[in-house]
Amino acid sequence: MSGFKKGMKHSDAIVGVDFGTTKICVVVGTVTQDGIEIIGIGKQPSQGIRKGLVVNIPSTVEAIKKAVEVAELMSGVEISSVFAGIAGGHIKGFNSSGVVAIKDKEVSKHDVERSIDAAKAIAIPLDREVLHVIPQEFIINDQDGVRDPVGMSGVRLESKVHVVTGAVSSAQNIIKCANLAGLNVADIVLEPLASAEAVLTEDEKDLGVALVDIGGGTTDISLFVRGSVVHTAVIPMGGNHITNDIAVGLRTSIQDAEAIKVASGCAMSTLLSSDQAIEVTASGGRKPREVSQSVLSKIIEPRVEEILALVDSEITNSGYKHMLSGGMVITGGASLLEGMQELAEFILEMPVRRGQPQGVGGLIDIVSSPMYSTAVGLLIYGQKNSKQIRFKIRDENIYSKVVTRMRHWLGDVF
């Protein structure tokens, strides 16, 4: 599906590309009897993406090419098709339902498809695109909670689904960047859904859990209840905002602020056991100076509190907070900040754990970090949703696949 090497079938390799605000990450995996084995990874700093949105196409294309080159050398796979992640404040998710009469009094696959089509037959603005239609449950006559209704008897079938939409222009820009880098896009996947594939257990999804992926430019939220997605949202704020606060507060460069955050940052000042001195490189060629770790923590803590307060507000407004018995799982690069887990437990008043990719083999020692959750999740999503390439490189019109896909959806609506 996504590449080949000597002795490997063309369909054996899957490639995921995480279009992150801080990094472009390419992960290559092969499907084995035991699941997915990761055989290559390429990472490149991202200069052309802000808050999950492409703002500079040439810079993004160059970063993709470099990351792909590294991944190809490590894996021995020639990458041709990828599953691409998408995020950003333009992402909107909502629940919908559709009802159809059951033909022949027994539910067939066609009946299920018709009920899902009825659920997604809603008016969507022309500047928005449906990214996912995720079945939650089915109701046959008055029996609810049905996961797979095929073969069951009844006269009325209702499907409940979660629909995720995004801005058409954002999807187009991701496809264009991938195509200019010589890649076809097999599918565009909402990043919090991909991350969920990598870090959540089935028990957590059944109990009810909130996944919060704190990246560089965005904080992605997905809520699961009774094993299904019930709410998705993206907050346009992340680890880069913390870095910017440090740069302003300590009057240093963004690069030095990031290094200080990673090495000495703490999101909860009460957790500091000692008040160590930190050397800060001053901007403009001035002499370095020292600040205490407690001063750094007092710069970081308010911003982290703000991000977590927005997460709490989003979860509370969704109406599902009381159903999250499994608590919250935080992942993404910014979740590695010391004290993040403890502060999240304090603000959201629920158990919190830090999630990292699981259920894969191969180069697990490299990818077993929260910062790779989305990229690894894209591989798992690709394995579960193998299908033909939707967005191929075209010389005359790079967006034709998107247009065709939208016409199909609009045809269903009107």
Provide the sign of the torsion angle of the four alpha carbons 220, 323, 117, 202, taken in this order: positive
Query: Which pLDDT belongs to residue 389?
Result: 52
Query: Which pLDDT belongs to residue 63?
Result: 93
Distance CA 303, CA 241 (A): 7
pTM of the predicted protein model: 0.83
Give the best-scoring range by mean pLDDT among 209-213, 372-376, 391-395. 209-213
The secondary structure element, H or E, covering residue 142 is none
CA angle 21–23–25, rounded 5-degree value: 125
Residue 395 has pLDDT above 60, yes or no: no
Q: How far is CA 386 from CA 31, 43, 115, 378, in A?
A: 11, 24, 23, 11
Q: Are 142 and 104 in contact (CB under 8 A)?
A: no
What's domain 3-88+168-193+357-404's superfamily in CATH?
ATPase, nucleotide binding domain (3.30.420.40)
* Collapsed DSSP state (helix, strand, coil) of residue 29: strand
Q: How far is CA 241 from CA 170, 252, 337, in A?
A: 22, 15, 13
Query: Which pLDDT belongs to residue 398?
Result: 40
Q: What is the DSSP letter of 372?
A: G
Task: Kindly report, residue by residue over 37-73, the tens digit of the pLDDT.
Answer: 889 999 998 888 888 888 899 999 999 999 999 999 9
**Structure confidence at residue 406 as a pLDDT band (50, 70, 90):** low
Q: How many CB atoms lie within 10 A of CB 288?
A: 10
Q: Are 42 and 25 in contact (CB under 8 A)?
A: yes
One-letter amino acid for residue 390 of the chain: R
CA angle 89–199–177, rounded 5-degree value: 45
Supply the Cα-derived Rg of the chain in whole angstroms. Answer: 22
Residues 6+ apart with CB under 8 A from 24: 17, 18, 43, 44, 45, 46, 49, 60, 63, 64, 67
Q: How many CB atoms lie within 10 A of CB 359?
A: 14
End-to-end CA distance of the chain: 34
| Total length of the chain | 414
Q: Find how far residue 55's CA is from the centre of its chain.
A: 19
Q: Are 238 and 212 in contact (CB under 8 A)?
A: no
Q: Are 112 and 157 in contact (CB under 8 A)?
A: yes
Query: Which pLDDT belongs to residue 330?
Result: 95
Residues 6+ apart with CB under 8 A from 9: none
Best CA proximity match to 301, nearest among 214, 211, 241: 241
β pairing state of 3-4 and 78-79:
antiparallel
Query: Which pLDDT belongs to residue 327?
Result: 93
Q: Are 150 and 138 in contact (CB under 8 A)?
A: no
Best CA proximity match to 163, nearest among 221, 226, 96: 96
Task: Kindly report, residue by residue over 221-273, the tens digit of the pLDDT.
Answer: 999 999 899 999 888 899 999 999 999 988 888 889 999 898 888 888 888 87
Q: Give the pLDDT mean for 286-291.
A: 82
